[in-house]
Every structure is written in C-alpha cells, then in structure tokens.
A and B are shown apart, each in its own frame.
Chain A
Amino acid sequence: MDYIKITIEDIKPMSPFSQGSTEIFLTGQWSSRKPLYVEKTSPCRVGCPVGNDISRAFYLASKGDLDGALKVFREENPLPGVCGRVCYHPCESLCNRKEFDSSINIRGFERFLADNGRMNIAEEMAKTRKKERVAIVGSGPAGLSAAYHLVRLGFPVTVFEAMAEPGGMLMYGIPAYRLPRDVLKREIDYIKALGVEIKTNTRIGKDIDLASLKREYQALFISVGAHKAQGIGVEGEDLSGVMDGIGFLRDVHLGKRIRLNRRVIVVGGGNTAIDCARVARRKGAKEVTIIYRRSMTEMPALKEDIEWAQREGVKIMVLTAPKRIVGTENKVSSIECIRMELGEPDGTGRPRPIPISGSEFVLPADVVISAVGQSPDLGFLDDSGISITKRGVIETSFVTGTNVDGIFAGGDSSGNKAYVADAIASGKMGAFAIKCYLEGEDVQKEVEKYRIMDGSSISFGHILSPETHKADLRSTVPYEKLNTLCFQREKREDNPEILKPYRAVRGFGETVGSLNREGMDREIKRCFKCGTCTQCDLCFLLCPDISIVKNEDGYGTKKDYCKGCSICATSCPRNVIEIGGTI
C-alpha cells in the first residue's frame, strides 16, 4: 500500500503486525457439502404442450435479447405468432408466480416476440442435408410442426394440402378476429423459407394415391385434421337453415355470401361453438344463443373467449339440450329444447348431463348451427392397412407410430386433444419419431432422453444444440423451493382490448391487441425465471467465505475454502443451486 507512507518497519516496534494471508487455512475441509449449479425445467415449460423453454426465453428477454428469446420459442414451436394469440395457455395455470400474486402473461409474451423479434434464416437452416424424404399429409398445425422440425433436422420434406391454402383449421376454422391471416401467412412463409415444400390443392386419394406416396417417400406423417362435422342427432337436422359449424366457418373464410338475419341458435360448448356464435353476430344475426347441455364450468371453450362472446351480445343457455328442430315448409322455425341436470361423472371425467323430463320448451330460430364435434375424414386410408379406432381416428402409439411401418400420424386425425398446441406437440413427436425411424434408433429410448418430465413433449433445444441446453428435463421447480423473499408483488399486465364489443361485431378485426414495450418489460421483469440461472449474483454476493467465483457463463466454487454452509442454495431465488456431498 504505497499511498500510506508508513513502512512495516515503522510499526513493528510498536505492535505486532500481520502480514500473512489466511488463505493458508483450507477451510473447505470443514465440510464435504458443496454447491452444484443445476438448471431445471420451469413448471410453465412442463405445462406447455409444445414444451417451449419459457423461463429461458424470459431470461434472454430480460437481458434485452428479444431476438434470442424468439429463437428459444422457435426451437420448439414453428407457430409462436399463432400460439401467442389462440393458445389455451396451460403454462399460465402452472406458473409459480400465481402463488405469489398472479401468473405471468406468457401468451402475451410469445405474441410480442413473434410480432417484434427477428430471425436470421441463414443461421436456422439445417447444416446437413439428409437423403431420406418425408411426406406429410395435411398442413394444419400438426403437419406444419412435423415439417418444420424435420427440415431443421435436415430431412427434405413435402407437405400435401387438399385445400387451396395451407394452415388447416388455422386457416379455415379459426376466425380472423382471433388470428389475423397475415400472421398465419407470415409463419407459414417462415417454414417454407427453411426449405419445406407445400403442395396445395393436392388431395391424397384423389390427386395422388397413398400407395405412390409410400413408394416415393421413406416416411409418411398423416395429419389431415378433423373436418367432418358430427350431427346433433335429433329430428329435423335436414331442414333448410340447419348448418354445421365447421362448414359455416370455412364458408365465411372462403368469402361465400352468407347473410344471417334474425335468430341463430348454436348447439355446443367448444371453441367452434363460440366462434360460430361470434361469427354469426358479425354476419348480421340479431339474436345469437348458444345452447350447451352441461354447465358453464364444463364448457371446453376458453374462458376469455366465452366472455368476449357474451359481451358481443351472445346469449349462453347452459344445461339445455336440443330435442327436435321444428320447421315449416322445410325451413327451420324453432328448436325444441329440454333442460338438463348434472349427474355422476362419465368416461371423460365430466358430469353426465341427464334430461329433466317434462321440462321441454321451444326457442324460435331461423338458423341452427351445430358445433358438437368433428371427426376426421379417413376414407383415403381404406386400403392402406392402417388401423382405425372405434372412435374413428387413426390408432397411434405414444410416439405417433401407426401399425404400418414408416407411417406416423398426429393432430386431430389421430385423436389428440383438439387444441392447436397439442397438435403442434404431436407434430414434434412425429418429427422426432420419424428421425429415429429413418436413422434406425430406438425411438422409445431416445424419447426418454429428451422428454420434458412425464409430459407429451420433447425438447428440440436439447436435441439440436446440446452445448447450450443444460437444464435438467427430469426435474422441475415447485413454488416452495423458490426464495420469494427476493421478489416484490406487482400487477400483471394483460393484453389490451383494441376494439369495444359493439365495434368488434362490425368486422373481423383483431379484438385483443399486443402488449406495448413498457408493459412487456414489466412482465419480463416480473417473471421468476424458475430453474434458470439469471446470473443475478446473489449467491456470489452472499458467500461468507468468498468461495463463489464468477465465470464467463455462470459461477464456480472454490472447494478449498467453501465451508458448505449452503446459504447460496437456500437463498437462490430460482432454485438453481443444489448441495452435493462430493469434495
């Protein structure tokens, strides 16, 4: 210390003077307990059917790297702009922040990234080009997802689409006020830019037969969706004025002239029913009533969409079932309904609706739209030997394999949950199963390596770039393991309404807008980032023994001095640190 002009010799005669270092004492020998940094899978990722690495994306966004965050979503999900708008966000129900104040607006985040982040396509192209070719039948979310992941693995992929435009239900089912078509087209263009070839107006079984596809391609993925409407199954369904929901939505998208005047009754409680009702309002119907046989809690449609429908003037009558459609001069005039009550749970786990006899009543109606379910049209598989279940869907194993070698199936046509995210998940699984099939690997064993907890999804991040994906896919972070004393309660930022209901029903403009930058930043900050090390330095700062050192990509331990107190592990806000017993 040359700035103090006293030498040790000046002091020595006066008092004893320590000049040595305590580093000669290896206090690490006091204990064999040492910290280990183990990144874990966040509960939101466990809840996400697609398996998006949400906490990692939030971490990158918190460092200002929005493009990197979008890249994280795109590692798992080819359609973040779609999911960011229409997903049923099970991630948010598992969000740990829910226990603290309220869940993070994860869907809004995904949408924000998809709309504002940029991808470098050249960087995303597969480095190797493999020779085995894969054909995909159907370009809905499952087919697009399979194609996207296969092309990223290096396989040449061709997608066959019967309709004029790719997208399946995303294009022909979901109305534009929930999913603007330019967003969908942008995402499909991105998939095409990666090298996926999409042949539209090509129906398998009509334009090309399945056998020739099998000859030309080494593997097939069938994801034709469920576009055949199921009937209500009551008298009077053949009357003029009765239409099926999915056909109605398709016709509206195709721009067919549809003018609904007065009273419309929609039968059903799923997303299709809600969409039909809201579209009916937009097509001029004065009075729209949804009748659903169970209660509000059992309605499969998204809560926020049900609320929107109600605010747009749609009436919802629950515990009501149609009994007969009544017509005059072969035209619908009314619908006879019956009241229901809820009984014991049925096979689906929901309470069984039981008619209350004598409670019949009549609702006047000009149009009846049935939206009680769809099934796949699998006529083209008749001679293929592929086995079909009793429910009329393709029979598949957990890893999407059918009983025929080299043919895989996913999405609605193999009876998956009818949500976009689940379809994407089955496409992902299909892509991975096809890779394993073509490369002669044991798919069951490989899947277990990359499977996220016990869920239906796998981590493509771990498959494609193992060097940057170190999180343990087999352990997650329960709320109790977080150190929430490091956080402060803050309000959740919801996506803003950009159209009032009375304006919304005049057209097909998006009703809910994107978060602005400030709101997004607050959500990014609010996210706990469970299981992801954000290099917050808390462990480093709190160590009493100066035994944690900062590295380029995280922290290390000075094992010679660490006394094993475990302050770091107990204080870590995100449960990244574990205590191991090795020296």
Chain B
Amino acid sequence: MLILILFVLAACESGSNEPASKSESSNKTGEEGTPKEGGTLSFYDFDDPKTLDPHKSIASATNSRIGLVYNKLVTFATGPDNFSSDEIVPDLAKDWEISEDGKTYTFHLRDDVKWQNIAPVNGRAFTSEDVIATMERIKNLPGPQANSLVSVESIEAPDDYTVIFNLSEPYAPLLNQLASFVMWILPKEATEGKVDLDNTAIGTGPFILESWKRGVEASFKKNPDYFEEGKPYLDGVTIYPNGDSMTEVNAFRTGQTDVILTDSKIDFETLKKSVPDAQIQSEIVTASRLFINQTRKPLDNILVRQAMSKAIDREGAWKSIYGNGEYNGYVMPTLEDWALPLDERKEYQEYDPEGAKELLAEAGFPDGFEVSMIVTDGYGPQLVTLAEWVAEDLKEIGIKVNIEVLEYGTFFSERWPSKEYDIGIGLVTPVTDPSDSLDPFFKSDGYRNWQGVNDPKLDEMIKQQYLIVDRDERIKYINEIERYLFENVTNHVNLFAYHIHHFKQPYVKGFDPHSNYGYLFMKNVWLDK
C-alpha cells in the first residue's frame, strides 16, 4: 500500500508539465540512447469502432486506429512529461500567424509532404486544396466536430502551401481544436467519395493501414515516404481490439504484447508482481461521474442533487476500487492550468452524509425515495463495482437505488441520450480545451447534454468564454463557470478522477502517451532489442 501511495505521488509530480520546447519534445530520445529501427509493436486497445471515418465518430476507438495514418494542421507536443500538454506544435503546417484582432489565422504548410502511395491518391503531393476540402467536409457533416468551426466564416488558399481561416469573431480554442483528434486532414479524393472512409484510411502519417479485420486486429506498416526524416522507427504496429482483462494481462505477461493499459487496481498489482521489470507510467486520464436526469422528479430539485453529491464517500471509493484517485471538477485536472485548485474541489465535494440527510429533508424527502441507476460493463467491471458503491452510499441517506447493468451500445446510444433513466454512472472524456468539457454537457442545446441541464445564465457564461482570447483572463472566467456549476447546477455530480496505468516492456522506448487520442507519439517509438 505504501508503495502504491508513493507511486501515485510520483505520478502526480510527473503530471505537472512544464511546457517543453519543440526541440526537446522531438528530440527526447537522447536520454534513452540512439533509436534502433525495426520491430513491430503490438497491444490491445478499445473495442473495434463502427467506422474509421474521423468525421462520423468521436469514439476513442476510431481515433486510436486512424491516428497512425493521418496528420493534422497542428498537433500537441508529446514527450516524457507531456501527457496532458496543451502546447501546440507544427504538424502539416510548419508555422502560423494570428492577426491582432484574433480573427485571421494564416497557416504555412510544409511543401515536402506526400500522400501514402495507395490508389486513388497514389502518392501525390499534399496541398492546401486538401485542407480546404477536409474543412468543408467537417463543416457540412452533422456532428459535434462542426461545432469547432462554427465561428470560421471562410477558408481560403492563396497558393498551394498557404491556408487562411477567417473568423466572424474571436474564438479562443481554435488552435487547440485544430490540434485535437477530430481534425485529421483527409486527401481531397476521400472527401469526394473516392475512398471508402468507413473501412480504410489513406493519410500522410507515419504508418500505412495495411489491413483492418474487425474483431481480430488492425495492422499497420511503416510509411517509407513519411515527411519526418528517419521516422518512424518501427516497421509496424498491430492493434488488437480489447478482450477480457485476464486475456490482456496474460498476453503482456508472456510477451505477446509490448504495452498494456489498465485502470484496474487488481490488474495493476498482478502485473507489477508478474512483470517486475516493466516500465510503469500512470497518468490521470479519466474520471467517473454520476449523471442525473433532471427532467424527472424529484431529481429536478437542486437540493436533492446536492444531497446525492454529499452522500458519496469518494475517497473511500477510489481507495478500494482503483487504489488511487483525486477530487475532480467540471474541468478535469488533466488541464492543470484550467482546473479549480484541488482544495476548492475537495471543499465542494466533502463526504457529509449527515448534511446530505438534512438537505434531503429540506427538499421535502426526509424518508428518501427510490430511483433506478443505469451503468454499463462496457468499460470494464470496475464501473459496475463503483455503481454498487454509490448505490450503498445513497441508501445510507434513504435513497434506494436499483442498478441496471446495460450493454455498452444500449447505454451510450439509447438510454442515456434519450433520457430514459433516473440516474447513471459514466465516464468523463479527457479534453484538451476546457470549453469541450463545458459546452457539450451543460449548455441547454449542448450535443451531449443528456441530463436536461437548462440554465440561461450558464448558457450565456459558456458563450462568453469563447470570446476571451487572453489566456489568464479566460482561466479566471472558466473557474467562475465551474463554481457556478458546483453551486447552482450540480449535475452531473463528479465522482473522482483516477489513473490509467501504462505498463511497457523494458525494451519499449519513446512510448510517451498523450491524453489526446490517436497515438501522436508513435513515430518516436522504438524497440531496444
């Protein structure tokens, strides 16, 4: 246990990222020796996605398959201490300028980029036309990604290697969102329907998608024409869709896979014991929450929701189920600069069953009531255990909870979006810009507002923060929004953030994960064997 605590502390420290300079992040292999070429890296990942089309699905599974194939205009810095870095570095654009008034973004593109040599693109040069075609597709397809370009009025290409974005009003998170995983740049041919984007991917990235067998594996091979000299180091990458945790653990133990990712305390301990020389990296990536359908009575009463929040013993839950954890806010602590200070998050969410009972009595339910709770086992068994924990806590203050364990598809695509539930337990997606964790969930018309939050003042505040271009000012304002959510909305109820552990075989080098989906760092990975 002591070791675990020390370990968590160490991990927290490593999470505090200083913005690394570009040269550092691209040249970080120095300390690990000279990279060797060759070898194939294999690991288990999320379940197979429905489609590989980046603009049809924001699913992590889609992005983890295609991230190796595509590039974006700009991307996030990756490196040993850069897990949640929001520092933007060049990708297809070699540099860029933002006008004084924040309404014009000019990107200068690399002129040495070629598409992968696959029909119908056949290795032609990448130009500004591809960028424009991709952006048009994003704007025209329905879906959350179009949101990012709402304030973009027009995009023009004065020549083959320059792209200009004209905005109607300043939009603070634009660069961040262009660097984020929905903005993969497709070849022009693909946007014209000449490529089967659901099942294949042709990009400019370090790896070529060789084959994708649903339910079996996605295999990638090195792109010999990749624009960064000498990269990637690996000959190939193989991604298996997730099996049950025992299978994954055993595959890693026997060396069949090179990396494994787990959030389970028990797997963590098993792996630590059975593969003692593995490299371990733990990062706060994910968080759980209790979402409440406030279109139903008595859950529309804020006192009831606050009582629920007070009733939950968060620290106890994370200690016994995950072995680690941290008080979470409406902006996750992965966005270190943007999240509320830890003390404040803790203050808002202290365990206080007596206070909860009082609140419930004040709301007119001294004897409690009965609700049903939806949860899925699609994220692994821990979440169901957590649901049982929360149900017990709520029972303590008189709220009887009936748990319904649903299959992932029913949970995520049916019951939750159509508000056919009382309360539920789910996860929070990590984001790279704070607005992404506010706008979709809490604006009355947010695309993932599946809780029925409807607060005009909050809507206005969320709209306002987009217009603040000064970073420090915006941080202050976002903090205000978060406090407002804690005090006046309390839906969802945050549970806690916790670690995901990466175990790497001792010979795996340069595997430095980043919270944004798509394995941005894979070009830097090499095998020392």
Q: Do A and B bind each other?
A: no
User: A residues near B, CB below 8 A?
Assistant: none
User: B residues near A, CB below 8 A?
Assistant: none
